[in-house]
Chains A and B, each alone.
Chain A
Amino acid sequence: MLDEIGVDSFEDLLKPIPDEYMLKGELSLPPALSELELQRDMAVITSRDTGADHICFLGGGAYDHFVPSAIDHILLRSEFFTAYTPYQAEVSQGTLHAIFEYQTMISRLTGMEMANASVYDGATAAAEACLMALRVTRKNRILIAGSMNPRWARVIRTYLDREGFEINEIPFLENGLLDLDAASSLTEGGAAALLVQYPDYFGLIQDIEPMAELIHSAGGLLIAAADPVALPLLRSPGDAGADIVVGEGQSMGLPLSYGGPFAGFMSSKLKYARKMPGRIIGRTVDRAGETGYVLTLQTREQHIRREKATSNICTNQALMALANAVYLSLTGEQGFREISTQCFQKSHYLYSGLIGIEGVEPVFGNTPFFREFTLRFPVSSVEILQKLAEMSILAGLPLQELGEGVMLITATEKRTKEEMDAYINAVASICDVEVSR
């Protein structure tokens, strides 16, 4: 091959690189491993991830849901996972058709008219939605619910960290619900959007329709950051007046994987389609009149509009969106509602058992919640976490900002009565000792 190229050696091909920038010597990396050695190395490493085999009551934005086997069998098809972005539509109909179905499912689930083909995760979806609302309304202020996942709020602040944009936080009341009076006064002077989580970070369910009315009268959009698993049971955000809906797709068929790859979904009213970031798949026909799918509304995107694009996103989370579509196909109308119901009922069973223990109190009174709830224990969170870890239980997420002994606890459909009883009994004995002390 070197002859054909007309050089004597590989080094001749490196001539364009000035000598002073050539790496002297070799990279300092560990020696190469064979496949078998690598597997051994990895077995040792992953054995130190002791949290992975614990019974998981931890949520806060990532959830331990059941993942049907069929999903991974589809994800492992070379045709899907080794394919490139579907720019050449004629040889990418598999990906395009599947993502079109994904867009449809997300639109229907959220009660919207369209959806994009995914963004990086739920937090970036929320941030992109804020930027989208700023574009649509040409206003410069965003109101964010104080009961928003704090990690998501950080991402939003990072994405909006530039001159001319302002973010105001809407406080929540003692019962955890958003302070509508405060929200009302914050909307004075107009705002681009009000962003609310539904259910919120603490798992609380609040009617978002009054917020839609508030922000609409201020000339802005309602952005709902919705938990997809709650949506089979709860009135859809679209029905309640949301203009843009975003969320995290991990709960729909993706493993926890220490936080990624996940997939953020974004849906909206059709009239905002041209302000939407990211890829969008559309249906069309080919030269013979047969149905086919293409990337559409591409002039929104960076490869065409460059500095005037609706977003800089290029690579998204296509394979994860495919997993979401397969998950929603497998579970379907009934299965997804059953999973939602089980999350709702099981979390309430655990909640009832725990607040029956002397000294354990709900932080937000009897405000309705979904899958996730917030309790104050009479002992430190560290003690609860440690004692339950001895039983291979990940007890929950300490919320130091709400005080000592406050924890956010989650029960998905995967948790059994037996596991929850063990949790309740362990907490009872910890608290019992504390009370008698």
Chain B
Amino acid sequence: MASIPEELHYTETHEWVKSLGGGEYMMGLTDYAQDQMGEIVMVEFPALEEFAAGDVFGSLEAVKTAEDFYAPFDGKIVRVNETLEDEPALINEDAYGKGWLIVVSTDDSSGFDKLKTAAEYATFIGE
């Protein structure tokens, strides 16, 4: 069973999103998705500073799979987890902690509110 923390929000593309307050949100890859991908060997972060919902943020690479991660709503990039560039496997080891990917900011919180709850995400992945 994949871990799906109650307090987080989720996307259909398997990102988790946590509100940090002040319009800032932290994002990462869900435990379920990291398990499906296998050991992650590379993280590539976006070159863009501003983005629209659905834009590709960057990509994650395992040995036999590569997945893009997507912007859940319009906003700006605040910071990225540069540690992952040297230690991408942190995503596998600690998907909701040290393996966070990116912090973004947005003026409009309605995008965040539309994301899935833990229960909805669990149903979505069939657990």
Binding site for B on A (CB under 8 A): 138, 274, 298-299, 304-305, 308
Are the C-beta atoms of B42 and A298 separated by less than 8 Å? no
CB 8 Å contact bits of B27-53 with A (1 = contact, 0 = none): 000000000000000100001000000
Are the C-beta atoms of B66 and A299 separated by less than 8 Å? yes
Known: A274-B42, A299-B61. A305 touches B47 (CB 8 A): no
A residues near B65, Cβ cutoff 8 Å: 299, 304
Within 8 A of A (CB), among B58-113: 61-66, 68
Q: Which range contains the number of B residues in contact with the other chain?
A: under 10
A274–B41 Cα gap in the complex (Å)? Answer: 12
Known: A274-B42, A299-B61. A304 touches B47 (CB 8 A): no
B residues near A305, Cβ cutoff 8 Å: 66
B residues near A299, Cβ cutoff 8 Å: 61-66
A304–B38 Cα gap in the complex (Å)? Answer: 14
B residues near A138, Cβ cutoff 8 Å: 47
How distant is B99 from chain A, measured CB to nearest CB, in Å? 19
Contact of A304 among B42, B64, B68 (CB under 8 A): B64
A299–B64 Cα gap in the complex (Å)? Answer: 6
A residues near B64, Cβ cutoff 8 Å: 298-299, 304
A305–B42 Cα gap in the complex (Å)? Answer: 14
A residues near B61, Cβ cutoff 8 Å: 299
What is the predominant secondary structure among interface residues of chain B facing chain A?
loop
A70–B68 Cα gap in the complex (Å)? Answer: 48
A308–B61 Cα gap in the complex (Å)? Answer: 13
A271–B65 Cα gap in the complex (Å)? Answer: 21
Binding site for A on B (CB under 8 A): 42, 47, 61-66, 68
A residues near B42, Cβ cutoff 8 Å: 274
Q: Which residue on chain B has the smallest CB distance to residue A300?
A: B66
A residues near B47, Cβ cutoff 8 Å: 138
A340–B66 Cα gap in the complex (Å)? Answer: 44
B residues near A274, Cβ cutoff 8 Å: 42
Q: Add 14 more A-B contacts to A299-B62, A299-B66 (CB < 8 A).
A: A138-B47, A274-B42, A298-B63, A298-B64, A299-B61, A299-B63, A299-B64, A299-B65, A304-B64, A304-B65, A304-B66, A305-B66, A308-B66, A308-B68
Residue of B64, B65, B66, B68 with highest tally of chain A CB at under 10 A: B66
A226–B47 Cα gap in the complex (Å)? Answer: 32
A residues near B63, Cβ cutoff 8 Å: 298-299
A residues near B66, Cβ cutoff 8 Å: 299, 304-305, 308
16 contacts between A and B (CB under 8 A): A138-B47, A274-B42, A298-B63, A298-B64, A299-B61, A299-B62, A299-B63, A299-B64, A299-B65, A299-B66, A304-B64, A304-B65, A304-B66, A305-B66, A308-B66, A308-B68
A305–B66 Cα gap in the complex (Å)? Answer: 7
How distant is B114 from chain A, measured CB to nearest CB, in Å? 27
Q: Which residue on chain A has the smallest CB distance to residue B42?
A: A274
A274–B64 Cα gap in the complex (Å)? Answer: 14
A197–B84 Cα gap in the complex (Å)? Answer: 40
Q: Which residue on chain B has the smallest CB distance to residue A309?
A: B66
How distant is B16 from chain A, measured CB to nearest CB, in Å? 23
How distant is A270 from chain B, measured CB to nearest CB, in Å? 14
A332–B63 Cα gap in the complex (Å)? Answer: 35
Ranked 6 nearest A-B pairs via Cβ:
A299-B66, A299-B61, A305-B66, A304-B66, A304-B64, A304-B65
A308–B64 Cα gap in the complex (Å)? Answer: 14
How distant is A87 from chain B, measured CB to nearest CB, in Å? 11
A229–B42 Cα gap in the complex (Å)? Answer: 37
How distant is B73 from chain A, measured CB to nearest CB, in Å? 23
B residues near A308, Cβ cutoff 8 Å: 66, 68
A299–B59 Cα gap in the complex (Å)? Answer: 11
How distant is A282 from chain B, measured CB to nearest CB, in Å? 11
How distant is B37 from chain A, measured CB to nearest CB, in Å? 10
Residue of B42, B47, B61, B68 with highest tally of chain A CB at under 10 A: B61
Q: Which residue on chain B has the smallest CB distance to residue A301?
A: B66
Q: Which residue on chain A has the smallest CB distance to residue B60?
A: A299
How distant is B115 from chain A, measured CB to nearest CB, in Å? 25
How distant is B50 from chain A, measured CB to nearest CB, in Å? 16
Q: Which residue on chain A has the smallest CB distance to residue B68?
A: A308
Q: Which residue on chain B has the smallest CB distance to residue A298?
A: B64
How distant is B45 from chain A, measured CB to nearest CB, in Å? 14
Q: Which residue on chain B has the smallest CB distance to residue A297?
A: B61
How distant is A314 from chain B, measured CB to nearest CB, in Å? 16
How distant is A352 from chain B, measured CB to nearest CB, in Å? 55
How distant is B49 from chain A, measured CB to nearest CB, in Å? 14
